[in-house]
Amino acid sequence: MIVALDGPAASGKGTLARRLAEAFDLAYLDTGSLYRATGVATLRAGGDPAQEFDAVSAAKTLDLTLFSSADLRTEEAGVAASQVAFIPGVRAALLDFQRNFAKNPPDGKTGAVLDGRDIGTVVCPDADVKIFVEASLETRVARRVKELQEKGENIIEARVRADMKARDDRDKDRSVAPLVPAGDAWILDTSDLDADQAFAQAKAYILSKTRR
């Protein structure tokens, strides 16, 4: 079983994806980490994440040990990720890894949950279940501010809002694999739901789709 979970930044899809993977005993891939790692690797090499040559070189030589680095979870990494994600050559370089994970999930699992922006539309268009997770900009900003504060980051709310809006616009407006729900995706708006409620609704939806 392949579950594709897409949606904008801080919509709650990461937490939801992790919980669904556990509940259904599936492997989990946070595809945003691939773009974040590419963005961070580009910066570490002294490159510019908005420059095709710099970003594609980083994507092609991605060091998978970077995945566990705390540097990936900063706002700076999120912005760099959305810049490299805009470049078609970067997306092409990361596609095989994602498809291969879905086709051959690790640890003997029989399926996978992938979360990102284009899983249901590009990476796994034949996924058994597609969920598009949404939430209002204000809700998402509030969540991200709380998350960053809990990590002890010194943040300015207006800056977080501006970065998120710029990231949303870049993700929605790019020519390749823009952030858009697949035609057959179920829309889950988490603006007024806590993590438990979102999980309960998504789980019920998956069971309704997969039970005969």
Candidate ranges 29-37, 45-53, 63-71, 128-136; the one touching ligand C5P (CB under 6 A): 29-37
Q: Which is nearer to ligand C5P, 31 or 57 (CB)?
A: 31
Cα-Cα end-to-end distance for the chain: 14
17 binds ligand C5P (CB under 6 A): no
Which tokens is 179 given? Answer: 């952030």
Comparison of 26 and 40: residue with beta carbon closer to ligand C5P: 40
Q: Does 140 bind ligand C5P (CB under 6 A)?
A: no
Count other Cβ atoms within 10 Å, centred on residue 126: 9
Residue 20 to residue 178: CA distance in whole angstroms: 25
Size of the site for ligand C5P (CB under 6 A): 14
Reduced DSSP (H G I as helix, E B as strand, rest coil) percent helix, strand, coil of the chain, to 5: 55, 10, 30
Using alpha carbons only, how large is the chain's radius of gyration in Å? 16
Residue 36 or 130: the one with the smaller Cβ distance to ligand C5P is 36
Give one word for 152, left, alpha or beta, with left for phi > 0 and alpha for psi -120 to 50. left
Which lies closer to ligand C5P via its Cβ, residue 43 or residue 85? 85
Q: Is 118 in the site for ligand C5P (CB under 6 A)?
A: yes
Q: Give the SS3 label for residue 20.
A: helix
101 binds ligand C5P (CB under 6 A): no
Residues in CB range of 101: below 8 A, 6 or more apart: 27, 29, 112, 114
Our finding on whether 105 is near ligand C5P (CB under 6 A) is: no
Considering only residues 70 through 99, tell me which ones interact with ligand C5P, judged by CB under 6 A: 78, 81-82, 85
Question: Within positions 30 to 49, which residues make up the interface with ligand C5P, using CB under 6 A?
Answer: 31-32, 35-36
Report, in Å, the least distance between residue 5 CB and ligand C5P.
Answer: 10
Q: Which residues bind ligand C5P (CB under 6 A)?
A: 9, 31-32, 35-36, 78, 81-82, 85, 116-118, 167, 171
